[in-house]
Amino acid sequence: MFNKVGFSKLIISHGCGAHRGVVNINVIGRIVFTMNAKLENVEKNVVRLEIELDAATFEEGVKKAYLKNVRKYNVPGFRKGKAPRNIIERYYGEQVFYEDAINEVFPDAYEEAVEENKLEPVERPALDIKQIGKGENLIFTATVTVKPEVELGQYKGVEVEKKIVLVTEEDVEKELTSVADKNSRLISVDDRAIENGDTAIIDFEGFLDGAAFDGGKGEDYSLVIGSGNFIPGFEEQLIGVSTGADADVNVTFPEDYQQSDLAGKLTNFKVKVKEIKVKEVPQIDDEFAKDVSEFDTLNDYKLDIRKKLTEAAEHKAKHETEDMVIKAVVGNATVEVPKVMVDSRIDSIVQDFEYRLKYQGLELAKYLEIMGRSMEEFRSEFTDRATDEVKAQLVLEKVKDTEGFTATEEEVQVELAKLAENYGKGEEIEEFKKQLRPEDIEYITNTVVSNKTVDFLVENAKIVG
pLDDT for res 4 = 28
CA-based nearest residue to 117, from 8, 33, 24, 15:
15
Q: What is the mean pLDDT of the chain?
A: 89
Residue 162 included in any domain: no
- In CATH, what number is assigned to the domain containing residue 224? 3.10.50.40
pLDDT for res 3 = 31
Residue 164 included in any domain: no
Residue pair 146/13 in contact (Cβ under 8 Å)? The answer is yes
- Average pLDDT (202-228) is 94
One domain, residues 264 and 308: no
CA distances from 186 to 32, 45, 198, 247 (A): 78, 63, 9, 23
CA pair distance 216, 201, nearest whole angstrom: 16
Residue 368 included in any domain: yes
CA pair distance 154, 324, nearest whole angstrom: 14
pLDDT for res 426 = 57
**Number of other residues whose CB lies within 10 A of the CB of residue 186:** 15
Looking at residue 326, its amino acid is: I
CA pair distance 46, 148, nearest whole angstrom: 9
Residue 286 included in any domain: no
- The number of domains in the chain is 3
- In CATH, what number is assigned to the domain containing residue 387? 1.10.3120.10
pLDDT for res 391 = 97
One domain, residues 193 and 249: yes
Residue 176 included in any domain: no
* Higher pLDDT pick, 435 / 198: 198
13-63 pLDDT, tens per residue?
223 333 333 334 344 444 455 678 899 999 889 999 999 999 999 999 999
| Out of 354-358, 391-395, 421-425, least confident range | 421-425
One domain, residues 234 and 346: no
Is the pLDDT reported for residue 162 higher than 90? yes
pLDDT for res 260 = 85
Return the ∠ at Cα 337 (arms to 451 and 355), rounded to 5°. 65
One domain, residues 364 and 397: yes
**Number of other residues whose CB lies within 10 A of the CB of residue 109:** 28
In degrees and rounded to multiples of 5, residue 338 shows phi and psi of -65, 145
CA pair distance 100, 64, nearest whole angstrom: 9
- In CATH, what number is assigned to the domain containing residue 74? 3.30.70.1050
Residue 447 included in any domain: yes
CA distances from 361 to 17, 170, 379 (A): 53, 37, 21
CA atoms within 13 A on the CB side of 315: 6
> Of 116, 145, 174, which residue sits at a domain end?
145
**Number of other residues whose CB lies within 10 A of the CB of residue 98:** 19
pLDDT for res 16 = 33
- Average pLDDT (228-233) is 92
**Number of other residues whose CB lies within 10 A of the CB of residue 45:** 20
CA pair distance 19, 8, nearest whole angstrom: 20
Is the pLDDT reported for residue 457 higher than 60? yes
- Average pLDDT (427-439) is 81
Orientation of helix 98-116 relative to helix 55-69, angle to 10°: 130
One domain, residues 227 and 330: no
318-331 pLDDT, tens per residue?
999 999 999 999 99
pLDDT for res 425 = 59
pLDDT for res 33 = 56
One domain, residues 197 and 324: no
> Of 280, 309, 342, which residue sits at a domain end?
280
> Of 145, 164, 195, which residue sits at a domain end?
145
Q: What does the DSSP 8-state code read for residue 282?
A: P
- Average pLDDT (104-108) is 92
- Average pLDDT (377-384) is 96
pLDDT for res 427 = 58
One domain, residues 267 and 310: no
One domain, residues 271 and 303: no
Coil, strand or helix at 23: coil
One domain, residues 75 and 196: no
pLDDT for res 71 = 92
CA 323 to centroid of chain Cα atoms: 18
Residue range(s) defining the domain that contains residue 276: 185-280
End-to-end, the C-alpha distance of the chain in Å comes to: 31
CA-based nearest residue to 140, from 131, 148, 150:
131
* Higher pLDDT pick, 426 / 289: 289
**Number of other residues whose CB lies within 10 A of the CB of residue 270:** 16
One domain, residues 321 and 451: yes
CA-based nearest residue to 21, from 41, 34, 7, 39:
39
One domain, residues 122 and 227: no
pLDDT for res 9 = 24
Residue 426 included in any domain: yes
One domain, residues 243 and 317: no
Q: What percentage of residues in the chain have a pLDDT greater than 70?
A: 92
- Average pLDDT (265-271) is 96
389-413 pLDDT, tens per residue?
999 999 999 999 999 999 999 999 9
Residue 175 included in any domain: no
CA pair distance 115, 8, nearest whole angstrom: 8
